[in-house]
Structure formats: structure tokens, C-alpha cells
Amino acid sequence: MPTYKISFSSLLLALFSGALLPLALAPFTLWPTAIFSTCTLCFLCRGQGIRGVFALSLIFGLGLYGVGASWVYVSIHDYGHAPPALAGLLTGLFALGMALVFALPLALFGLFRHAPPATLLFAFPALWVLGEWFRGWFLTGFPWLNIGYGFIDTWLAGWAPLFGVLALSGIAAFGGALLSLIGERKQHKSLIDYSLLILLMIFAGGAYLKIKPWTYPTGKRLDVALVQPDLPLLEKWNDAELKQILVNFQQTNETLLDHDLIIWPESALPTLQGNISGFLADIDSQLKEHRVGLLTGIPSNTASGNYYNSVIALGRASGAYQKRRLVPFGEYVPLEHWLRGAIAFFDLPMSAFSAGAPQQRPIHLGTVRIATAICYEIAYPDLLARDARDANILLTVSNDTWFGDSIGPHQHLQIARMRALENAKPLLRATNDGITAIISPRGKVLEKLPRFQAGILKTEVAPYSGSSPFSRYGSLPIIGLCLTILTVLRLFRRFR
């Protein structure tokens, strides 16, 4: 296909297909949309050079993040007190920045502009996967809106414990690239037929793998209580409310002393750990007397002056966890010297944290090991996989109040489901105002609490032993495969 100029209609179609892609994810879960959107982008980019592919991918990414991450506006406007115009501008700049990061790897698709369809069919999904991986670590990473999450309830989910969410994204992008060739079936009948057969075999293989047990329950089932306090965010950090919060914390725990483990969400206690050390010591003694473990989110600090977003263990539980991946502006302010104090958004509560140590020991409840992730850390597949190898239970605590009544909390829950599936371990999710949930090792939501309601989710959870292939190797196999595909395709073109 010869190189051609990009028409306005092509740019408009790229924007529309990018904006449509979030429909494949929660809460909509219309997964065929992912194949349609990637098909459209692949079709538009065929025959384009690097600049053309970059431009089309940039517009596509603008639609993707403008719609899929629209909840950023809620955080900036509702809780950062930015005027609507400024909040809209900052949200737009965020979407543009993410669109740039989205477009950079895909621009390399332009290197194959004169390649035959067989080459394009494998180059496009390989670059898509590498693009999602790139967005997961570049400038600390924002691994959100990966299209593989939309397939968690399909047969493709069976591949997640082997290769992770990136593999599901790659399969979806392969399906999109294949669909973009359907109009040329007469010229490339054999290629399309064989590719369809490969795709069907992949789906069938996923159906088989979906029922394969990678891990197994071990030991006594635990009686667990997850507390969803539903505290208004702006009131929560008001010092005048702290006394009542502590009273509610103590009284609620006293009603749950017949459980093995009590879990409170991120920053459930909105003050520094050192400020209420006596109060925590009393709670700790009471819990030990009844042989109950408790985990709660609370800010902590050290003598060196560093502050951490932490989860601490009391009673029968032991250990602590400090958040490693911080949210820009929410937990630390880039270019702080210039931005701090400029507007209220740059002075949000808890926006002066330090990152915890890269390697941390798991929290223990007796012999049960618990791997922990705080808030959007759950979106980093390899971060949790390293901790999940030897853990028996996965835990994530969050304060999704920042998302408001948007699609953000639903996307967040879907991401947590994928982490449980990848590592084949049960996952406990405690949030301030929803969605608090119990997730099975197969990524299924077993029980949950409704949003914007205070409540306690009581259930039994079995610890699991063993590890999935993804827990052991992470994303390295799928990344290595994609790099190998691109290298072979490029060398093959050169030798020809």
C-alpha cells in the first residue's frame, strides 16, 4: 500500500476509535470494541511512515485517555478545588501527555510501511504490547487502560496466569490487525485463513487453561472482615473529625473480635502513626488478647523526616508495608519547588510522601503471608507478581473517593481482578467508599459491598500455596517474544 497523506476524516476516525476503546473495559466490558478499535488504528496506519503513524496514534491516544481517564477531572476539580476551566485544561494536558507516550512506540510501525500483510499482522500487536509495557514504567508509569483487562471474563483469561495482561492485549491487537485485512481476503486468502485458525486455537487454549489449577488451598480458612467506613474525603482530613474517627475505629473493631483478620482501607486513620502511638498500643493489646490480626492504612514517618503511605499490622498480625509507586500530584509533587502552593490541587492531603523500599517483607498473620499493594500500585503487574510468589493471600487497600462517581473505581476493581487471576491467589480489596470486594484466584468477584455505603464485608478466605508461571517470570516472556518478533521481521525485510 503506498504512502498517502492523512486526511481530516482519518484523524477524526482515529479520535473516535480511541474514544470508543474504553467501552471494552469496566464498567461496560464490551470487549469486541477493543478488536474494532485496534482494527481501525491498524488499518489507518498501514502504508504510513513513522510521522504518519505517530500522528494517527497521537489522536487515537487522545481519544483513549480523554474518555478512559476522564475521572482525573473529578480529582482535580472536586477535591483539588480547581475551577472547571482549569480542571478541564489540566485533564486535557494529562490526556495529551499520555497520548504522546502512547504514540511513541507505535510510531515504529511506520518502519514496516512497505511490508507485506503477513509482516504487518505480527508487527502491529508486538508494538502494541511493547507500548503498554512502556507506559507501565516511563516516568514512573501509568499502566492504566490496557485493553487486556477487558477480556478477563472471556476464554482468553486462561492465558493470564502464564503471560499476564499484556498477552491478552497482544491477542486482542492481533485480532484487530487480522480484521483490518478481511477486506483483502481475495488477495491473501491463505494468510487470513491460517491466521483465523491460529486465533481460534488461542481462544480454545485459553478455555482449557482457564480451568487449570495453578495453585492450591492450604491450611485453615480465615474469618475475615473488610471495613468500608465511607468517610467524606474533605472531612476525613479535618483535625476536628479525628477524635470521632478513632472512636469509630475502636468500637467497630470490638464488634469483630470473633474474626481472624480485620482489614481497614488506605489511610483509614488520617494522622501520622506516631501521633496516636498510645491509642494504637491499646488496640494492639486488645487484639492480641483475642488472637485477632488487624491491618490498616495510616501515614507513617521516620526520624529522618520521610513520610510514607503505609499499611501497618496490629494484634496477631505482624509487619508493615510502605507504598513504593506514588501517584504524581496525589502523593508527591513533581517540580515541587515551582508548583507547591500555586493552586490548591498541588497541596492535596498526603502529597509529600516518599517511596518505600523496593523489596519489602510480606505481612504475616501467623504462618500466612500477605502480599500488599496500596491504591494504584495494583495496576503494576510485575510489582505484585514478585511479592505474590511466596504469598498466600493478596491484599490491596485503596481510597477511591478521589474518583468520585465515575468509571474509575470500576476500572480499578477490574485491574485488581486481573492481579488475582495472574497470580492465582485470592485477593482482598478494602476501600473507603467502594468497591470493597473478595476476589477468587480465578479473578471472580465472590462478594462485594455497594459504593457510597458504610459496611463490613464478612467472609471466609482460604490461604493458597504454589505460584503461577506469571508470578515466577512476570512479563519478561511476552516482552521477549515481542522484541524477537520485531527483530526477526526487521531483519527479514533487510535481507530480502
Is a pLDDT exceeding 90 seen at residue 290? yes
For residue 40, pLDDT beyond 80: yes
262 shares a domain with 183: no
Same domain, 76 and 140: yes
Same domain, 481 and 453: no
Average pLDDT of span 456-480: 98
Residue 378 lies in a domain: yes
Residue 278 falls within a domain, yes or no?
yes
Separation of alpha carbons 417 and 95, rounded Å: 25
Give yes or no for residue 5 having a pLDDT over 90. Answer: no
Residues 181, 240, single domain; the answer is no
State residue 493's pLDDT score: 67
Is 201 in contact with 209 (CB distance < 8 Å)? no
Over residues 407-435, the mean pLDDT reads: 97
6 vs 263, residue with greater confidence: 263
The percentage of residues in the chain with a pLDDT greater than 90, rounded to a whole number, is: 82
Over residues 344-368, mean pLDDT? 80
Residues 263 and 151 in one domain: no
In a shared domain, residues 431 and 481: no
- Are both 347 and 437 inside the same structural domain? yes
Q: What is the pLDDT of residue 2?
A: 47
The answer to whether residue 42 sits within a structural domain is yes
Question: Do 297 and 169 lie in a common domain?
Answer: no
> How confident is the model over 114-136, as pLDDT tens digits?
899 999 999 999 999 999 999 99
**What CATH number is associated with residue 392?**
3.60.110.10
User: Distance between CA atoms of 422 and 165, rounded to whole angstroms?
Assistant: 8
Burial profile 443-462: b = 16 or more Cβ within 10 angstroms, e = fewer: bebeebbebeeeebbebebb
Active site residues: 266, 323, 375
Give the mean model confidence (pLDDT) for residues 173-186. Answer: 91
Residues 198 and 229 grouped into a single domain: no
Cβ 493 vs Cβ 115: under 8 Å: yes
Say if CB 413 and CB 445 are below 8 A apart: yes
What is the model's pLDDT at position 396? 98
pTM for the structure as a whole: 0.94
Q: How many domains does the chain have?
A: 2
Q: Which residues pair with 397 in a beta bridge?
A: 374, 430
Q: Are residues 330 and 204 in the same domain?
A: no
Query: Of the given ranges (51-65, 78-92, 451-465), which has the lowest mean pLDDT?
Result: 78-92
CB 80 within 8 A of CB 348: yes
Task: Report if residue 2 sits inside a domain.
Answer: no
Is residue 121 within 8 A of residue 178, CB to CB? The reply is: yes
Q: Are residues 197 and 227 in the same domain?
A: no
DSSP code, position 324 = -
The boundaries of the domain holding residue 28 are: 8-212+475-495
Question: Average pLDDT of 241-245?
Answer: 93
Judge whether residue 289 has pLDDT over 60.
yes
Same domain, 208 and 225: no
Among 19, 5, 15, 26, smallest CA distance to 413 is for 26
In the predicted model, what is the mean pLDDT of residues 87-101? 95
| Chain Cα centroid distance, residue 46 | 30
For the chain, give the mean pLDDT.
92
Average pLDDT of 62-70? Answer: 97
Q: Is residue 3 part of a domain?
A: no
Residues 6 or more apart in contact with residue 208 via CB below 8 angstroms:
158
Q: Is residue 234 part of a domain?
A: yes
In one letter, which amino acid is 329?
Answer: F
pLDDT band (50, 70, 90) for residue 338: very low
CB contact set of 20 (below 8 Å; sequence gap of 6+): 33, 36, 37, 63
Structural contact between residues 81 and 120, judged by C-beta atoms closer than 8 angstroms: no
Does the pLDDT at position 450 exceed 90?
yes
Residues with Cβ < 8 Å from 487, sequence gap 6 or more?
Answer: none
Rounded CA-CA distance 25/394 in Å is: 23
Interatomic CA distance for residues 106 and 54, integer angstroms: 7
Alpha-carbon dihedral 227, 228, 231, 232, rounded to 10 degrees: 160
* Calpha distance 460→259 (Å, rounded): 9
Is residue 406 a contact partner of residue 70, using CB atoms and an 8 Å limit? Answer: yes
Q: Is residue 239 part of a domain?
A: yes
Q: Looking at the predicted structure, is the pLDDT value of residue 399 above 60?
A: yes
Residue 348 lies in a domain: yes
Longest dimension (CA), the chain: 77
Question: What is the per-residue pLDDT for 329?
Answer: 65
